Amino acid sequence: MSDPFIGELRLFALPFAPSGWAACDGQVLEIARNEALYSLIGATFGGDGKTTFALPDMRGRMPIGVEAGAAHLALGARGGAERVALSVETMAPHRHGLRAAPAAPAVVAPTDAAFAPLAGGYVSAPSSAVAIAGALAEEGAGAAHDTMQPFAVLQVCIALGGLYPAQA
């Protein structure tokens, strides 16, 4: 394996950080003991920038590429949520259509004729009755649900030493 660049991130299938690497768990390091790494990442991920700096905290996070001019995609930015509870306030405006036909359907299927009269059905209702109350009832009661894609958990580590990267 070639020498890593200082500040390079790698995934390991290990429960620890190998020698020369540190777990990307947000830990705070002393600048005096890690000057080369600090000169590259600074206090982007935390620390006071005078005597300490923090490593990226990748626990439970997926890396996303930097996008110039987009504050929410700047180096060191964090976002997203593992669980979300939908509410009327957080949903985009939308409609749920309900279709019915005034005559018996050609086939016994709910498509386009869910409320059409059906010959030989179990219930006969007067022609003036509309029996759809509660048909589009609320579900879920605001309970949170997962928003995460399938994943495999690995150790994310940062190189503390190695080759000093030159800018392109």
Q: Tell me how far apart the alpha carbons of residues 61 and 66 are, in angstroms, rounded to a whole number.
A: 15
pLDDT band at 134, cuts 50/70/90?
A: very low
Please tell me the predicted confidence (pLDDT) of residue 94.
78
β-pair type (145-146, 52-54): unpaired
pLDDT of residue 58: 97
Residue corresponding to tokens 């390091």: 29
Q: What is the mean pLDDT of the chain?
A: 84
Q: Where are the domains of the chain?
A: 9-83+146-159
Alpha carbon distance 28, 142 (integer Å): 38
How many angstroms separate the CA atoms of 63 and 24, rounded?
Answer: 12
Predicted pLDDT at 106:
66
Q: What is the pLDDT of residues 12-57, one digit of tens each?
A: 999 999 999 999 999 999 999 999 999 999 999 999 999 999 999 9
Q: What is the pLDDT of residue 113?
A: 54
What is the tens place of the pLDDT at every residue in 84-127?
888 878 778 877 766 666 666 666 665 555 566 656 555 555 55
Residues 6+ apart with CB under 8 A from 86: 140, 142, 145
- Residue appearing with tokens 């950080």: 17
What DSSP designation does 51 have? Answer: S
Q: Helix (H, G, I), strand (E, B), or coil: what is residue 12? A: strand
**Nearest to residue 49, comparing CAs of 67, 21, 29, 26?**
29
Q: Which residues pair with 28 in a beta bridge?
A: 54
**What pLDDT was estimated at residue 133?**
47
**Higher local confidence (pLDDT), 37 or 73:** 37
How many Cβ atoms from other residues are within 10 Å of residue 37's Cβ?
22
- The answer to whether residue 68 scores a pLDDT higher than 70 is yes
**CA 97/CA 76 separation, integer angstroms:** 44
User: What sign results for the dihedral spanned by CA atoms 64, 165, 3, 51?
Assistant: negative
Phi, psi (deg, nearest 5) at residue 51: -125, -15
Confidence (pTM): 0.70
